[in-house]
Amino acid sequence: MLFPRAVAAAVAAVLLLAGAASADVSGPDVSRYQHPNGAAIDWNAVRGAGHDFTFIKATEGTSVLNPYFDSDWSSAASAGLYRGAYHFARPSTAAGSAAAQARRFAATIGDQQQPLTLPPVLDLEEAGGLSPAALVSWTRSFLTTLQTLTGRTPILYTYPYFWRTAMAGSTAFTAYPLWIASYSTAAPPTLGWPSWTFWQYSATGTIRGIGSAGSLDVNRFNGSMSDLAALALTTAHAGGDVPTGITDPALVQVGEPSRYVPLTPTRFVDTRHGLGAAKGLVSGALPVQVPDAVPAEATGVVLNASVVQPTGAGWVRVAPYGTTPLTTAINFSRGLSTTGLLVTPVDAARRATVNVYGGSGHVVLDAVGYYTKATGEGGHWVPLAPSRIVDSRSGTGVTAGPQSGEVEVTLPEAVPADARGVVLNVSVVDPEHPGYLRVAPAGSAATTTALNYTDIQSSTGLVMTASTDRKVTVSLHGGAAQLVVDLIGYYDAAGTDGQAMSTTTPQRVLDTRSGTGARGREVRSVTLTLPSMPEGATGAVLNLSAVAPSGKGYLRLAAAGDTPTTTAISFARGQSTTGLALTPVAAGRQVTVTVYGAAVDVVADLVGFHAPVSPG
């Protein structure tokens, strides 16, 4: 970029040292000038030097192309870097100049819906003889044209003096992410934006693998790797950015009422060992075959899914083989193994596709149960008022104090001894060291992980398990931690009537980023009316996400009008978290989502519901 380079060398050196020594999310931006004498950039070396993203110049005006764009674009992604493309603007009084430049830029950069792809950038640092009012109009035309062509909300790059003079300090574009160049300040000015997204803090950088040493732009991202992953694959939508997969209600399909059949947890995919799939890290789509214990007529399969040792932040979506996944089942952060419970239909051949976006990781899948409409099979859902049956912080249900090893939990008499399955929310609070948690019927070996946790950070997950004489065993492997267990409900013995589960095409019912259901990161409580459910529905099944939290906190669900008493998911600063949640609903199909703790965006997708069925 051509931002003026006059800056004190000492200040630049201090900033570079700070960037190199910190855990900041960082990366360079490059153009043809980083290819002296045609030398290639070694993007693996850039990644190995600890950088996470890059921006690559694609076009300038209507005639200039970066001859190295295509090779840098593909090689940066192959090295595991998030990448974004930028256009150097040449504003002009010529009619249609802005739209023409946006069209050429969009045609050059191609599909912007690929994994690891950051939103496209307008690099605005020349006025082209336009007045501030005319330049504001030119900029608006470029951005709206680009957004329409790419389906992405663009980033706007500029520097303070230009914005305050050539743009007269306009606040017309604060809905777009800001990339600010500011070299001699301890923190960049925001020019009226709520905050900056990227900060180009030096133009005199040196990074291993890139030529033009001592004259390289270096940038920081204002967030964590989870935040960067959330930014990397979003699409344009009225009112803000939302993930792909928003479902038209007219296209929603509702499955037949089904009952639950628990399975002895069966591991059928483990890419660490080549079980059920090729050995190695997974990125993109992974077709899988569920085990024979799941019959062909199953309407849905219940899986514990794990991403192990991911190379970067990302998320997982699962759908029947040959269909498009519409809702996130797991979020994960770089280097942190993550496990979550999910429910998915499968195709007629009992196949599904696991889609890993962002960083790659090993995939581990355990089948723990399935839903069926077959006569005489499975148990009906029996919801209970959520109740805390274990809290080691107070000595409820177990000895007070941090727990480790095997902890036997006795279920209340509200759960019959012959229940087919029990549904629990299990939380690990303030763990001393990283570890993982497993749950099994008392007297049985726990073979599948239900929850991964890191030190200090609390974690919560939904667990579906059988029990033995109303007892289950919770096993904590790794660091000792306080243990909290909430009973949500159970599945009864096989019968002819009761409350059955119906899956639905995933429907987004809440996204505070876009204004779906509520708007803003400061929302503390919102009551939702859920679609595609009969009036008599008693419970909802949701994928619930906490996106880019500013600190620690947790989410709770309850039927509208009831006090929420059990945590659905916990979250930590900068780590987006997703979990499956079951909740009662009030008359009118209403449920309330409540946020406790730090500011966070909240996303909820309806994936199923429970409702009474007639005998037979």
Instruction: pLDDT band for 149, please (50, 70, 90 cuts).
Output: confident
Which residue has better confidence, 185 or 473? 473
Q: What tens digit of pLDDT does each residue of 387-396 get?
A: 999 999 999 9
Q: 88, 127 in Cβ contact below 8 A?
A: no
Which pTM does this prediction carry? 0.61
In whole numbers, what is the pLDDT of the chain averaged over residues?
Answer: 87
Q: 73, 56 in Cβ contact below 8 A?
A: yes
pLDDT for the residue numbered 7: 34
183, β-bridge pairs: none
Comparing C-alpha atoms, which of 477, 451, 450 is closest to residue 465?
450
Residue 2 has pLDDT above 90, yes or no: no
User: 9-222 adopts what CATH topology?
Assistant: TIM Barrel (3.20.20)
3-state secondary structure string across 2-49? CCCCCCCHHHHHHHHHHHHHCCCCEEEEECHHHCHHHCCCCHHHHHHC
Residue 22: both structure tokens together: 């910190």
Mean pLDDT score, 176-192: 91
pLDDT for the residue numbered 18: 32
Which residue has better confidence, 593 or 496? 593
Residue 11 has pLDDT above 80, yes or no: no
Domain spanning 498-616 has what CATH number? Answer: 2.60.120.340
Mean pLDDT score, 170-184: 92
Q: How many CB atoms lie within 10 A of CB 96?
A: 11
Q: What tens digit of pLDDT does each residue of 72-83 get?
A: 999 999 898 999
Q: What tens digit of pLDDT does each residue of 246-284 get?
A: 445 555 778 888 999 998 899 999 999 999 999 999 988
Listed by start position, the domains of the chain span: 9-222, 259-299+308-363, 379-494, 498-616
Half-sphere exposure of 356 (CA within 13 A, CB side): 25
User: 379-494 adopts what CATH topology?
Assistant: Jelly Rolls (2.60.120)
- By annotation, the residues acting in catalysis are 29, 123, 125
Residue 52 has pLDDT above 80, yes or no: yes
Common-topology check for domains 379-494 and 498-616 = yes
Buried b (16+ CB within 10 A) or exposed e, 280-317: ebbbeebebbbbeebeeebbbbbbbbbbbebebbbbbb
Instruction: Give dist(CA 282, CA 377) in Å, integer.
Output: 35
